[in-house]
Amino acid sequence: MCMFLYCRIPQSIKGSIFCYGIAEGGEKEWEFAWNYHNNSDSEDHWELAFLKQGLSCTREPWLLYRYLKNSMEGESHNMLDVLLHMLKNDIGRHIAWDFLKEKWHELNDK
């Protein structure tokens, strides 16, 4: 079996693979990707960008909300990236819109 850290996924399909894996997985897979993204010492900018995009592919509304909330604590461009990725997801689109309405004043003050 190929473990996540040791597989070589072609760059051209890496984003799709991450997105599909997280969408078809559950909390365990999302948590694994989240922890890898946050604790990685990887200098591969593309891999981390694809992983950030993949995290927005989950079908679990509470994970999407948590992802948005956590992205709010970081830099503003990170929050914008997460929102843009989430708008591509049918479930994420609604979560993102509700989140923006709920947190508008906080976001506007940043």
Reported as a single tens digit per residue, the pLDDT across 18-72 is 999 999 999 999 999 999 888 877 777 888 889 999 999 999 999 999 999 999 8
What pLDDT, on a 0 to 100 scale, did the predictor assign at position 2?
Answer: 58
24 is in which domain, residue-wise? 14-109
Average pLDDT score over the chain: 87
Instruction: State the pTM of this model.
Output: 0.83
How many domains does the chain fold into?
1
Contacts of 48 (CB under 8 A, 6+ apart): 37, 40, 42
Rounded to whole angstroms, the Cα distance separating 93 from 74 reads 21
